[in-house]
Amino acid sequence: MPRRPFHKVLIANRGEIALRVMRTARRLGHGVVAVYSDADHDAPHVRLADQAVRIGAPPPAQSYLNIAAILAAAKATDADAVHPGYGFLAENGDFAAACKEAGLVFVGPSPDAIAAMGNKAGAKAIMQRAGVPCVPGYQGDDQSDEAMLREARRIGFPVMIKAVAGGGGRGMRLVSDADAFPDLLRSARSEAAAAFGDGTVILEKAIANPRHIEIQVFGDAFGNAVHLGERDCSVQRRHQKLIEEAPSPAVGPELRARMGEVAVQAVKALGYEGAGTLEFLLDADGQFYFMEMNTRLQVEHPVTEALTGLDLVEWQLRVAAGEPLPLIQEQINFSGHAIEVRLCSEDAAHDFMPQSGRMALWQMPETIRVEHALESGAEIPPYYDSMIAKLISHGATREEARTKLIAGLEQAAALGVATNQSFLISCLRHPAFAAGKATTAFIAAYRDELRAPAVDAADLELAALLLSVSHPHAHPVRSGRSLAAAFATPLRFEIGGEVRECELWRERDGLYRVTQDGAEHRYEIVSLVNDAIRFRRADIVDGARFVRDGDRLFVQHRSQTLAVHDLTLARPQSSAAAGGDGKVRAALNGRVVAVLVKPGDRVELGQPVVTLEAMKMEHVHTAGIAGTVAAIEVAEGDQVTTGRIVVEIAG
């Protein structure tokens, strides 16, 4: 077979995967080129590349889907290979074909393979012909609303609506009954079109409480194919993975061999080249059903790398260059256990709503592997996926990997934008996960237990202490006695969604006294350096990380992250923000994708009125009161900021 050597790789992606590909490409002696949107003009992947090319004017969300601009960037920088990363154009057959036509090596499978397997409907048809068990469903050409509802009734509710293109939970909706089907079908199509440029969907029977198991495969141009074991991706929210591990606690040697054999046969039948993943649902009886094939590298590939000791990006680059697979099946070894968590900028307490803004303090642990592209002071834009880092642990046993990952998460500092850090720790600590019993129903089944604990008196007192000592005009913290008279500093702040008041006293002996709701405690500051405090309370020495950003204070204490808003000098606020005044406000920065009412409509409390799209997901906004729509302040396609009034309702 002819070799396809290349010397410079353009990475048609952003963030942590861009940096991940750069790292291996450079180790193999290749130059690296980055591309960027206006939102990413100063991002780490731009600064660390050999060259970087701007690939489009606003909207930034579409820049990384601009095929013509990416090809022009490759030509301008003399890049002769393109790595698509994952997401965006990674599973776009037209992009792969355009790269080939432009004389570029596409680091991935052929356009034909992407077309065959990157489309969920086509992949299921191929697998069914090959005798692979598939989830019952519908993947026909008739995409009319009437046909889709008819097929959903035939399959039987509950059914799953799934986008044929892409992945990551976008364009996916679980529908419990026929009445809810039309709205959820529209929403799935809209989200899929925004994320992948294709609103086509399929239907599948919803299997109750399965495991989500995927098999990592590789093929080359010589007809060789191997599998690299399975990953268990059952812990999910919004049909998006949060925790992945290998090997799966539910897969034994015999089942692993059967699933691996099916996956390898599929790869060989396709003549598939490069990395791919076959995804299955595994039911309680040990039966597995093919769902889809991802014709790209997966977000969770570091789990397999930890287990095998291999560099999957290196394998991708070597196969793309026309080399054979580095190993045959019998040479692939597995060692220990690995677990990965996805750290996301989202509010787990409010239905995992994505968050954007300035990350004031960002420090990742050095004890485990972390893939990220952030730094203190970086801005998280609202246009892209909410995942901001991956933390991966490896141990001789599953328990060792689990406890190492918990410790790593506790050491991480991500302050300034709400993240799911505490939620991930709760998941890893939960007895069901610790016992290896988590299915795709894990988060729904244990949601109340996984929530962060309520803010307690110690949290309130620590917030008051840090608000005082971190204030720009605060007196320096000194140990020892003082001749100055003690006096009270009144403090008013919002924490945990509630406004609290307390008083703080600086005593003559150098200690601090915090009073709140009639109770008081004394604090001694042992040390206060930059973003860390050590203090003594009731004979216990404790510590916390914190950062002050204007009137906002962010505190990480005992595995919990607290957001504090200093209201001491602020004008009292009304409860209007909850929508009780009839004004529906944008809950996040995003784009209006659907206005569901019109002026004069009668709406009920909780009725959907506007849908926003942010970080590739749709978010429905509902009426805070029953009444009549008095005004609509936005139109489809508008970009709105958090707090903007979108609809007004008269009671």
Mean pLDDT of 51-74: 90
Distance separating alpha carbons of residues 121 and 559, to the nearest angstrom: 43
Residue 296 a catalytic site member: yes
- Fold exhibited by the domain 8-107: Rossmann fold (3.40.50)
Each residue's pLDDT tens digit, 611-631: 988 876 788 899 999 999 999
182 pLDDT more than 70: yes
Mean pLDDT of the chain: 91
Question: Which tops the pLDDT comparison, 183 or 559?
Answer: 183
- Fold exhibited by the domain 211-450: D-amino Acid Aminotransferase; Chain A, domain 1 (3.30.470)
Each residue's pLDDT tens digit, 6-44: 999 999 999 999 999 999 999 999 999 999 999 999 999
- Percentage of residues in the chain with pLDDT exceeding 90? 71
pLDDT at res. 573: 54
The model's pTM is: 0.86
Band (105; pLDDT cuts 50, 70, 90): very high
Distance separating alpha carbons of residues 295 and 109, to the nearest angstrom: 7
578 pLDDT more than 70: no
Each residue's pLDDT tens digit, 371-394: 999 999 999 998 899 999 999 999
Mean pLDDT of 243-267: 94
Contact criterion met (CB below 8 Å) for 125 and 139: yes
Torsion angle of the four alpha carbons 356, 362, 367, 373, in this order, in degrees rounded to the nearest 10: 60
pLDDT at res. 349: 87
350 pLDDT more than 90: no
Largest separation between any pair of C-alpha atoms in the chain: 87
Q: How far are the Cα atoms of 216, 512, 566, 571 from residue 505, in angstroms, in the given order?
A: 60, 6, 17, 24
Tell me the DSSP string of 139-183: --S---HHHHHHHHHHH-SSEEEEESS--TTTT-EEE-STTTHHH
Distance separating alpha carbons of residues 451 and 1, to the nearest angstrom: 55
51 pLDDT more than 90: yes
- Fold exhibited by the domain 137-205: Dna Ligase; domain 1 (3.30.1490)
Pairing mode, strands 353-354 and 346-347: antiparallel
587 Cβ partners below 8 Å, 6+ apart? 350, 353, 612, 619, 621, 642
pLDDT at res. 387: 96
Q: Which helix (H) or strand (E) holds 65?
A: none
Peptide bond into 247 cis (omega under 30): yes
412 pLDDT more than 80: yes
- Fold exhibited by the domain 579-650: OB fold (Dihydrolipoamide Acetyltransferase, E2P) (2.40.50)
pLDDT at res. 179: 93
Catalytic residue among 20, 173, 237, 296: 296
Q: Which of 507, 508, 531 is nearest to 521 (CA)?
A: 507
Distance separating alpha carbons of residues 484 and 338, to the nearest angstrom: 57
CATH 3.30.700.30 is the classification of domain 457-566? yes
Contact criterion met (CB below 8 Å) for 621 and 612: yes
356 pLDDT more than 60: yes
Q: Which two tokens stand for residue 245?
A: 């591990």
Band (478; pLDDT cuts 50, 70, 90): low
Name the residue ranges covered by the structural domains of the chain. Answer: 8-107, 137-205, 211-450, 457-566, 579-650
574 pLDDT more than 70: no
